[in-house]
Each structure stands twice: as C-alpha cells, then as structure tokens.
Amino acid sequence: MDEKRSRQVIIAGAGVAGLTAALAFAERGYAVQVYEQAQRLEAVGAGLQLSPNATRILRQLGVLDRLLPAAVRPEAVVLKDARTLRQLARVPLGQAGESRWGAPYLVAHRADLQSALMARVAEMPDIRLTLGGRVEKIATGSHGVTATVVIGGKTAEEQGSLLVGADGVWSLVRALVDSKRMASPRSRFSGELAWRATVAADSSAGPAFAAIGAVDCVTTFLHPGFHMVAYPVSKGDAFNLVAFTKGERIADGWSGHADPSILAAAMRGTAPGLVKLVELAGPWLTWPLHTVEQTQPWTTSNGIVLIGDAAHAMTPFAAQGAAMAIEDAAMLANIMADFPTDPMESLRIWENLRRPRIAKVARRGAVNRLAWHAAGPVAVARNLFLTMRPSGKLAADLDWLYGWQQQKIIRR
Ligand SMILES: Cc1cc2nc3c(=O)[nH]c(=O)nc-3n(C[C@H](O)[C@H](O)[C@H](O)COP(=O)(O)OP(=O)(O)OC[C@H]3O[C@@H](n4cnc5c(N)ncnc54)[C@H](O)[C@@H]3O)c2cc1C
C-alpha cells in the first residue's frame, strides 16, 4: 500500500462517533472521507448529558468552544423520589465538578453537539464529508479496504487503509463484519421505551417544570414503574424530559408515537406536580431502546473497526452512549497514529483496552436501572443509603467514570 493510502481513513456515518473520529484522525495527520447516508444532518434526538470524560476530548479536538454558547452547565445531579419530590441525593457539578474531573459537565441538545462537531469539521481541510452517501459493501485485500458507496443512485468506490463503522445501532458495517461468525449480528430490543419531550421555558409547561425544582440541575425522579430525567437545554430556553418505562417494540428506527396511557399508568402514585408537568409537556415521542451484544468482534484483521453504537449500543441509564462513542473515536485515532507500523496490532490493542471500560459503563447503567425502579423495602434501603451518603462521597464514586483519561500506551 502506498504512503498516501496508508493514512486514508473511510468513515461510515456522521453521528457523534463518526464526526469525532473524523476530527481525531485528521488531527493526527490522516486524510478522512466520511460518508453519511442522510441527505441532511437534521436535528435528530433530544437532550444529551455530556460528562467530563467526553467534554475533555471535545476540548482537545477544538469542539468545546463551539458547543459552550448553546450548552448549559448544570449545578448538580440530583435524585428525587417521584412520589414525594423529596431530594435523596445531590452530586455537585458546576465549578466543583469541573475542578474535580478537569472538564465541565454539560447538558445540550444533540443538534447543538452535532452543529459544533460540524463547524470544526468544516475547518479541517483533510476531512471530506459526503452527505447522501450510503456505504453498501466492503472488500478487503492487499490494497487495504474498498468501500462501495451509493450516492444519488450512482455507485462509487473509495479505498483506504481503515474503514470505521460509525453507523449506529442498526449498523450495516457490523452485519458485513460479522456475517460469518454470528447467527444474528442485529441489535436487540431491550424491552424499555424512552419517552421524550422538550418544553419551551415560556410555554404553559415552563412554570410546571420550574415548580418541580429542576431548572438548573440534572434531576432524576425515581419510581418503581418509571424514572424520569429532567434538565435544561438551549441555554435554559428549553427543558428536556425523558422518562423510561417498560414497553413494546415499535419498529427499527429512532422515534415514533406510542400510547401515552402507558406512561400515565406507569406513573401511578406520582406527585401531582410531576403528573401535571407530563400532561402539559406533550407531544411525547417514544424511542425503543436497542442494545448490541458485546460478544461480537469490534475489529477485523483486515482493517475494519466498529465504534460507538455500532459496536456496543447500551441502554442510556448511565447517560454515557455518546460519551463512549467520543472516547472510542479519540482513543482509536491516538493508538493508530502512535503505532503506525502495525495497524492491525493497533486495532487489537484498542479493542482490548475499550472492552473492559465499555462493559463497566454498561453494568453501571444496569445497576442504575435496578436501583431507580426499586420498590418496597429495597426502595426504603436505597433511599436511606442515598440520603446518608455525603455528596463528596457520591462524587468520588463517579471518579472512575468522569475522571477517565486515556493512559499512555507503551509497546515493547
Ligand atoms: C433516550 C436516549 C437518551 C440518551 N441520553 C444520552 C446522554 O444523556 N448522554 C450520552 O452520552 N448518550 C446518551 N444517549 C446515547 C447516544 O444518543 C448514542 O449513544 C449516540 O448518539 C450514538 O452515536 P453514534 O454516532 O454511534 O450513532 P448515531 O448517532 O446513530 O449515528 C450513526 C450515523 O450513521 C449513519 N449511517 C447509518 N448507516 C449508514 C451507512 N450504511 N452509510 C453511511 N451512513 C450510515 C446514520 O444515518 C447516522 O447519522 C441516549 C440515547 C437514548 C436513546
């Protein structure tokens, strides 16, 4: 493979994972071609919590300054009992969190993050982004990787040394990578629905939101039948609400409409202020939560790698899916650039380092889900534990997650 092609990276997907990977590789001197199947990058999704492990990387890649004008720095993460609205725990964020973890904890609209990433991508001459380009086939050989891409009904081929599958939970690259090894490399419906609504601060739901005391914090309301996370976005001009219940699979795809009586039934016994907010806050969109089994490979020995949701979509109960995509992307580019003489070994090192971290974060999400939906004596014990634990200790419990930084890797 010639010198130029050995530093050519092809990325399928321009979500958080793909755009971050494009920036990280371009920063390390690679030429990057990103293909995104959508004709336009639209404002898909709703709010995102971006913890310091992610914002530290966004700062290194020159994205943070572009995001800050639209984002909010919440004062704390707060847990409340949904029946009484009583505060159970408070982890200080704001300046205290930034000093502790070395980068800010932010909440933002997903579209604001995407715009900030795009603005930075536009400044990088070594990144080419093709919208309306769907990666459909991949071939590998001594020349490296060849992606067959369909653009406006026409087929084109792109060659590079590495193909990064950043094509999300319904990844085609995953199916291509794994079709021989796995009976079903598809994602799996988790049995949970996310209910999302965005409330304008000056709408009739704005005062109802203020009344539940969540305007400057990330607040999670706990209940056996559901939990709800509430926080400000868009510089405080709007509020993001996301509730989680059990539910039926709707279809493959991000969002749709479901029967709001499911949410109402799950909220039985909830404080009237929260019920009123949910009534005023509609329309609610539902998102079926899909996960990807972590048993399947993320890399191949011939230059294909999966990152972000394509590799390991997880339930959002630790609010870390986008953060893990950002960590994946930055670490991949760093390891590939630090050890350019054996790229396939670099891919293996990356996968071996990422797996335990991703598994631990996914486990944390599962524990959160169990604890937040606890009932009866278990809920009483949980509330006692949370109210007794000093906020400094609660913050220290999160050091492994929010304080994460890539370690220097020494290869012998
Ligand atoms: C309810 C909910 C709340 C969440 N809250 C948080 C949170 O607070 N914090 C957090 O960190 N994470 C959160 N997440 C998770 C986070 O949204 C995802 O983990 C993250 O967006 C994944 O990014 P991605 O780039 O891997 O995938 P995606 O965002 O899905 O991007 C994939 C892209 O690839 C494109 N594509 C697909 N196939 C092809 C192809 N063949 N060729 C070219 N392009 C293709 C798609 O069009 C898409 O643009 C939440 C998720 C949900 C569902």
Spatial distance between the Cα atoms of 378 and 359, rounded to a whole number of angstroms = 25
Rounded mean pLDDT, 284-288: 87
Query: How many Å lie between the centroid of ligand 1 and the Cα of residue 44?
Result: 9
- Whether residue 190 is predicted with pLDDT greater than 50 in this model: the reply is yes
Segment 70-127, tens digit of pLDDT: 999 999 999 999 999 999 999 999 999 999 999 999 999 999 999 999 999 999 999 9
**pLDDT higher than threshold 50 for residue 182:** no
Ligand 1 mutation pick, 93, 298, 309, max ligand atoms within 8 A of CB: 309
Assigned token pair, 302: 């011939």
Cβ of 36 less than 6 Å from ligand 1: yes
Give φ, ψ of 8 to 5 degrees: -110, 120
The predicted pLDDT at position 360 comes to 97
> Residue 156: CB partners within 8 Å, gap ≥ 6?
133, 148, 149, 150
Q: Is the pLDDT of residue 146 over 80?
A: yes
Boundaries of every domain in the chain: 3-71+105-186+292-372
Long-range contacts of 148-153 (CB under 8 A, 24+ apart): 149/35, 151/35
Q: Which region among 20-24, 88-92, 126-130, 236-240 has the lowest average model confidence (pLDDT)?
A: 236-240
Mean pLDDT value of segment 138-142 = 89
Ligand 1: does its nearest atom lie under 6 Å from the Cβ of 104? no
Spacing, Cα 113 to ligand 1 middle (Å):
12
What's the chain's length in residues? 412
Is residue 245 pLDDT above 80, yes or no?
Answer: yes
Give distance in angstroms: CA of 257 to centre of ligand 1.
19
Give yes or no for a cis peptide into 283 (omega within 30° of 0). yes
pLDDT band for position 283 (50/70/90)? confident
Q: By alpha-carbon position, which residue is closest to atom 3 of ligand 1?
A: 316
- Band the pLDDT of 177: cuts 50, 70, 90: confident
Question: What pLDDT, on a 0 to 100 scale, did the predictor assign at position 251?
Answer: 53
> Over the stretch 42-61, which tens digit does the pLDDT of each residue have?
666 689 999 999 999 999 99
Averaged pLDDT, 251-263: 65
Structure tokens given for 219: 């607040």
Q: One-letter amino acid identity for 1?
A: M
Site to substitute for ligand 1 among 20, 32, 48, most atoms within 8 A of C-beta: 48
Instruction: Please count the helices (runs of H) and the strands (runs of E) in the chain.
Output: 15, 17
Which residues lie below 8 Å from residue 101, measured CB to CB, with a gap of 6+?
51, 52, 53, 56, 399, 402, 403
Domain 3-71+105-186+292-372 part of CATH 3.50.50.60: yes
3-class DSSP assignment, residue 99: helix
> Which ligand 1 atom lies nearest to the CA of residue 48?
8
Q: What is the mean pLDDT of the chain?
A: 91
pLDDT value, residue 179: 58
Per DSSP, 15 falls in state: S
Q: With a cut of 50, say whether residue 160 has pLDDT above it.
A: yes
Q: Looking at residues 132-158, what average pLDDT do you find? A: 93
Give 309 Cα–ligand 1 centroid separation in angstroms: 6
275: left (phi over 0), alpha (psi -120 to 50) or beta: alpha
Whether 74 is in the pocket of ligand 1, judged by its Cβ within 6 Å, is no
Task: Dump pLDDT digits (tens) for 352-406.
Answer: 999 999 999 999 999 999 999 999 999 999 999 999 999 999 999 999 999 999 8
Q: Which of 251-255, 298-302, 379-383 has the largest mean confidence?
A: 379-383
pTM of the full structure: 0.95
* Atom number, ligand 1, closest to the C-alpha of residue 133: 43
Q: Which of 33, 36, 136 to mutate to test the pocket of ligand 1 (most atoms within 8 A of CB)?
A: 36
Atom of ligand 1 nearest to the CA of 107: 8
* Ligand 1 lined by 172 (C-beta under 6 Å): yes
